[in-house]
A = this chain, B = another copy of it.
């Protein structure tokens, strides 16, 4: 973990801080030494320690806050989201490729969610699908419900890695979702999309993994078709 760009002082400092976290078995929320102490211990200037901190903070490995000491961070998809957006904007990734990954991942997610979801999660998921139907007239709200729906499913799968991956696609999805929506101009096509989400939610509530996976598959069939209609080839 500490061999990253070990040629520069900042690189070795990043390594030293990572090692410090691992060797002292620091858990999320635990405090790291102050910049001054680290710079003294590692024999580098505070500038170098600060740049190392910034790097680790960018990867959400630590968390910074003014006045407070740096702390070990909880896993978070923010950084991954930015990386994916960058990949799409620089034409290294296209939207269909993301949809293929999402379909693969999310089909597995609903299968697990249908098996593992708590009652509270089931209620939550159904409520989000219902909220989509209620806000069908307001695209912005609808989109947020949609995103929250998929995140809720990921959480219900009880596997944080799925949460991470679904979260990683949220940033770019927020930018492309409206395109998909515009390609569903008729009431019927819009109702269909909402109905599909309700189907997924009901299957998860009914603890029916097969049905849940089938509905999710249908959802992606429909979404990819909408995207292609919108001219995203």
Contact = CB atoms under 8 A, between A and B. Distances in A.
Nearest to A106: B104
Given A59-B82, A101-B159, 15 more contacts: A4-B82, A8-B66, A18-B86, A54-B58, A55-B57, A56-B58, A58-B58, A58-B59, A58-B79, A61-B83, A75-B83, A75-B93, A93-B161, A97-B159, A101-B165
Interface in A21-45: 21-22, 26-28
Nearest to A30: B90
- Contact residues on A (Cβ < 8 Å of other chain), bracket: 35 or more
A79 B58 CA distance: 9
A2 B160 CA distance: 26
Nearest to A2: B82
B165 A100 contact: no
For the complex of A and B, list the 6 residue pairs with the smallest distance between their C-beta atoms, beginning with the closest: A58-B58, A55-B58, A104-B108, A75-B87, A97-B159, A54-B54
Contacts of A105: 101, 104-105
A90 B72 CA distance: 9
Copies in the complex: 2
Interface in A94-141: 97-98, 100-101, 104-105, 108, 112
A92 B165 contact: no
B82 A1 contact: yes
Interface of A: 1, 4, 8, 10, 18, 21-22, 26-28, 47, 50-51, 54-61, 66, 72, 74-75, 78-80, 82-87, 89-93, 97-98, 100-101, 104-105, 108, 112, 159-162, 164-165, 171
Nearest to A50: B51
Nearest to A61: B86
A118 to B, nearest CB: 18
A86 B2 CA distance: 12
Nearest to A112: B100
Contacts of A18: 82, 86
A35 B79 CA distance: 23
A68 to B, nearest CB: 14
Q: Which of A26, A74, A160 has the most CB of B within 10 A?
A: A160
